[in-house]
Structure 1
Amino acid sequence: MKLRRKKVKPITLKDVTIIDDTKLRKAITAASLGNAMEWFDFGVYGFVAYALGKVFFPGADPGVQMIAALATFSVPFLIRPLGGLFFGMLGDKYGRQRILSITIVIMSISTFCIGLIPGHATIGIWAPILLLLCKMAQGFSVGGEYTGASIFVAEYSPDRKRGFMGSWLDFGSIAGFVLGAGVVVLISTIVGEANFLEWGWRIPFFLALPLGIIGLYLRHALEETPTFQQHVDKLEQGDREGLQDGPRVSFKEIATKHWRGLLACTGLVIATNVTYYMLLTYMPSYLSHNLHYSEDHGVLIIIAIMIGMLFVQPVMGLLSDRFGRRPFVLCGSVALIVLAVPAFKLINSDVIGLIFAGLLMLAVILNSFTGVMASSLPAMFPTHIRYSALASAFNISVLIAGLTPTLAAWLVETTQNLLMPAYYLMVIGVVGLATGLYMKETANKPLKGATPAASDMDEAREILQEHHDHIEHKIEDIDREIAELEEKRNRLVQQHPRINE
């Protein structure tokens, strides 16, 4: 039976997408602001965990209060995979822009409501229950937030600048932490510790509402990404009736055809987020509760570290466009394995300069992951399943990483060994190393299922030439393989008496 060849049109200059700089800047600003608000809450929660422990779990001793407050932080991660599945499916079906507008509304309202919850002294057991419900609503919305934002930025970015543009997403995360920490310190300083425990801790959560309104306005004004719009246009040309309910998403296809991408995504997210939560969520509590620094003192050190991270973050993304994403994942993972224990010994030294140096080491390691994560993850999956696949793998991985503050606090309390968080990070470094060796390089390449994207026409010509050169090299490689197979076939034919005749 003769196979019918599917005719494939050659890629020409008309097929290269020219990205509008104004739309790109708006997309990055809107996506980063939503991400900043997400991490503003996480940052505030980590920095006021000691206060929340006293307000919502007043009957326990200080160590148990801390673990209980951090456990409330970790439990909503159980909900994130559900949110990821829900919003991921909708994002692949109806587009990225609509879903990002929905997630920021849910996130801002649930964060605002935390500030409204009365303490345990007023409503008893309902206080921690309501806190948990608000955190679960946050977890559900966040399940579609980061992945949607990273996809949005990646699909709007030129191929040669995707690392730099994507790095601004986690710049927003770090900025959200800085803002959250700064607000906590400012309010605590102004109202005093007693008033802060009584009512001042609520103010940072109230700020989520105006931030959410600004983020919603910016996101609602955005157009759909060029990559997703191209995907929809192709479907319309091939199957107009089948597009009435949006593109179809097959979870069977995600699990069977893209399992390599799922594994690479899981490993990278675990390595990044465990380091993230260890440094930026658990460390303030570690400094105050275990090392007995005042809350403000420990927070100020972390703020200084995070401000430094803001400057390093876009540099990592820029360099990854030149040298690739994998080198940064590999270097960060090796650094975790080798430097985690020395870093924590410096942190435990009781000398401010050495404490700062230890935290700075962990911060630079974290930057090597965050600088490339937002550009690496979306490139692992094709357009029609990108949101669903990435949201599923990401949030299952974050479910594991989200236990970090609780497990770290429990391990230290149980063993009385202040180096337990360092050993934890060393194990995660092994996970990151395996991921870096396993994942494929995606820098300067079009997203799967998308045509090349460029900043201007000159760059488009260069990209097209590189694309054609790449095809020529692949054809040459295939020709060599065919010649080797033909030679092998001839040898085998000569060894067979009947075929040889």
Structure 2
Amino acid sequence: MTQPSTQEECTPSHARPTGHVTTIRLRTVAAATIGNIVEWYDFALYTAATPLVFQRLFFARHDDGLLAQIEPMLVFGAGFLVRPAGGILFGLLGDRLGHARALRYTLTIIGIATAAIGLLPGQATIGVLAPLLLLVLRLAQGFAAGGEWAGAVLLLGADSPAARHRGIAFALTQSGVAAGMVLGGAALWAARQLPEAAFLSWGWRIPFLAALPFLLLGLWLRATPHRDTPIVRSARPRAASQGMGLQGMGLPLLTGTMLRLAENGSIYMMLVFGMAYGHMHHVPDRWMLLAGTLGMVADGLAMPAFGWLAEHLGARTIYALGAAGMALFCGPFLALVASGSQSGVILAFIVGMGLCHAPMIAVEPALLSALFPPAHRYLGVAVAHEAGALLAGGISPVVATLLVHSRWGNGAVCGYMAALAGLSLLALLARPARRLAFPQPQE
């Protein structure tokens, strides 16, 4: 069996009938980003709910010791253990059966698991089963999330009208990430306005159950696209079993994994460890949720701007600026949060996410996509993306929590962030610039 030409799957938008261009792009944008919205809506909910809900209801203890802080973070990080496996499975499915079919599977699993968390009884009701069931649902979410991001990025990236606009097209997929985080953070912030007893009894569950409407909308968008969109063309069976698969991709996979460390480690350090760090310094929950939400807004608004800049300055330059900025801003970020000032906490998240994290995540799809050939791009991007998430995002909140309680305190946390940034910068230097340019529509 022969593979269909890359030209069929990656035909630029300007080559399509002009009467359908606007509809095609809007439909592709919506279908590609809805999964990111659901995935990161859940992410924002879980990260914010960890110190506010799960630590109290699912990991209840009589003290406020280090173990009580780490346990819910370990459950959160457990989802990352299965993300590479999910990336392999859904990457193979996407390359062989089409991106759209794989993306419907990932969206369904993420949406159902998120809503199911909202139905879980607490430890006081079912004992040790409560954290165990929470762990199972986190594993399901992580497994499906392993294939979601790569497929969504490739769908929307293929629909950009020309190579010079692909920086903005890739950045738009990441705006879906920010939109999900904003919605999740805002939903839990609104629920937190309830009286304490009502919030801990039923109020926190509503935002998790609200994932179901997103799921239904996403399934509709991905099941019934316009017949001329890249979603349909990508859904045609392909013989991806031919060629190298993961074999022969060792160096690109290593490079992609290292590229991911600074971006992923920084966002989880801010939104997971940062929330717990504020709780340690008795910053009001409402302030932390508001600061996190405003930081996500800044992140999402800045992404297209940095995507545009990358088209003029290069993706490597933009990513390097973000990685260096995050390493340098770690100390001020922690100091602003610990200050207990509402304006200081808000400033920490806006600068950290809008000026340091946004440059990295805006160009990350372009950098990863350029490392792999079209026939195996879904698989390669998914595995590199999720391996980096496992090594950075999955453990960074736990590592930061342990380090901040060490004799070196905040300095150790910032040293850890600098190490992640250094590894990503090495990956940028290790590959020729031509391999890290924006991938062309036809290859």
Q: What TM-score, normalized by structure 1, do the two folds share?
A: 0.79
User: Which among 267, 284, 298 is matched to residue 288 of structure 2?
Assistant: 298
Report the alpha carbon displacement of residue 251 of structure 1 after superposing the two structures with TM: 8.0
User: Which among 76, 80, 88 is matched to residue 79 of structure 2?
Assistant: 76
User: Which among 402, 422, 429 is matched to residue 414 of structure 2?
Assistant: 422
Aligned to 1:53: 55
Alpha-carbon deviations, 1:170-189, whole Å to 9, x = none? 11111111111111111110
3-state secondary structure, aligned to 1:57? coil
The alignment status of 1:206 with 2:209, answered yes or no, reads yes
Report the alpha carbon displacement of residue 268 of structure 1 after superposing the two structures with TM: 1.7
CA distance in 1 between partners of 2:54 and 2:235 (Å):
47
User: Which among 403, 412, 428 is matched to residue 404 of structure 2?
Assistant: 412
**Cα distance change, pair 124–445 in 1 and its aligned pair in 2 (3 A):** closer
Q: Between Structure 1 and Structure 2, whose CA radius of gyration is higher?
A: 1
Aligned to 1:221: 224
Aligned to 2:319: 329
The answer on whether the counterparts of 2:174 and 2:300 sit within 8 Å (CA) in structure 1 is: no
The answer on whether the counterparts of 2:48 and 2:272 sit within 8 Å (CA) in structure 1 is: yes
User: Which among 424, 442, 446 is matched to residue 440 of structure 2?
Assistant: 446
Aligned to 1:381: 372
Equivalent residues, number:
421
CA distance in 2 between partners of 1:224 and 1:282 (Å):
44
2:239 corresponds to which letter in structure 1?
A: P
The alignment status of 1:38 with 2:56, answered yes or no, reads no
Aligned to 1:101: 104
CA distance in 1 between partners of 2:82 and 2:46 (Å):
18
Aligned to 1:494: none
**Structure 1: any 5+ residue segments left out of the alignment?**
1-10, 233-244, 452-501
Aligned to 1:28: 29
CA distance in 2 between partners of 1:84 and 1:143 (Å):
4
User: Which among 190, 202, 207 is matched to residue 186 of structure 1?
Assistant: 190
Report the alpha carbon displacement of residue 60 of structure 1 after superposing the two structures with TM: 5.3
**Structure 2: any 5+ residue segments left out of the alignment?**
1-6
Aligned to 1:358: 348
**Cα distance change, pair 101–275 in 1 and its aligned pair in 2 (3 A):** same
1:338 corresponds to which letter in structure 2?
A: L
CA distance in 1 between partners of 2:277 and 2:108 (Å):
33
CA distance in 2 between partners of 1:251 and 1:67 (Å):
44
3-state secondary structure, aligned to 1:48? helix
CA distance in 2 between partners of 1:299 and 1:78 (Å):
27
CA distance in 1 between partners of 2:37 and 2:47 (Å):
15
3-state secondary structure, aligned to 1:384? helix
Aligned to 1:151: 154
2:74 corresponds to which letter in structure 1?
A: A
Aligned to 1:460: none
> What's the RMSD between the two structures over aligned residues?
2.4
**Cα distance change, pair 134–230 in 1 and its aligned pair in 2 (3 A):** closer
Aligned to 2:388: 397
3-state secondary structure, aligned to 1:293? coil
CA distance in 1 between partners of 2:411 and 2:401 (Å):
11
Aligned-residue sequence identity (percent) comes to 31
**Cα distance change, pair 109–287 in 1 and its aligned pair in 2 (3 A):** same
3-state secondary structure, aligned to 1:62? coil
CA distance in 2 between partners of 1:61 and 1:301 (Å):
27
CA distance in 2 between partners of 1:58 and 1:110 (Å):
23
Report the alpha carbon displacement of residue 282 of structure 1 after superposing the two structures with TM: 2.4
Report the alpha carbon displacement of residue 415 of structure 1 after superposing the two structures with TM: 4.1
Report the alpha carbon displacement of residue 167 of structure 1 after superposing the two structures with TM: 0.9
**Cα distance change, pair 250–263 in 1 and its aligned pair in 2 (3 A):** farther
Aligned to 1:311: 301
CA distance in 1 between partners of 2:391 and 2:101 (Å):
28
Report the alpha carbon displacement of residue 148 of structure 1 after superposing the two structures with TM: 1.0
The alignment status of 1:169 with 2:199, answered yes or no, reads no
The answer on whether the counterparts of 1:332 and 1:369 sit within 8 Å (CA) in structure 2 is: yes
The alignment status of 1:280 with 2:282, answered yes or no, reads no
CA distance in 2 between partners of 1:187 and 1:217 (Å):
28
Moved more, 27-36 or 329-338: 329-338
The answer on whether the counterparts of 1:77 and 1:399 sit within 8 Å (CA) in structure 2 is: yes
CA distance in 2 between partners of 1:230 and 1:136 (Å):
28
Report the alpha carbon displacement of residue 414 of structure 1 after superposing the two structures with TM: 4.2
**Cα distance change, pair 419–43 in 1 and its aligned pair in 2 (3 A):** farther
Alpha-carbon deviations, 1:10-69, whole Å to 9, x = none? x9xxx8762534212211122212101101111011111121111111135334322111
CA distance in 2 between partners of 1:227 and 1:135 (Å):
28
Report the alpha carbon displacement of residue 254 of structure 1 after superposing the two structures with TM: 3.2
1:56 corresponds to which letter in structure 2?
A: F
Q: What TM-score, normalized by structure 2, do the two folds share?
A: 0.88
The answer on whether the counterparts of 1:96 and 1:225 sit within 8 Å (CA) in structure 2 is: no
CA distance in 1 between partners of 2:64 and 2:172 (Å):
38
**Cα distance change, pair 157–428 in 1 and its aligned pair in 2 (3 A):** same
3-state secondary structure, aligned to 2:204? helix
Report the alpha carbon displacement of residue 226 of structure 1 after superposing the two structures with TM: 4.4
Report the alpha carbon displacement of residue 339 of structure 1 after superposing the two structures with TM: 3.1
**Cα distance change, pair 26–407 in 1 and its aligned pair in 2 (3 A):** same
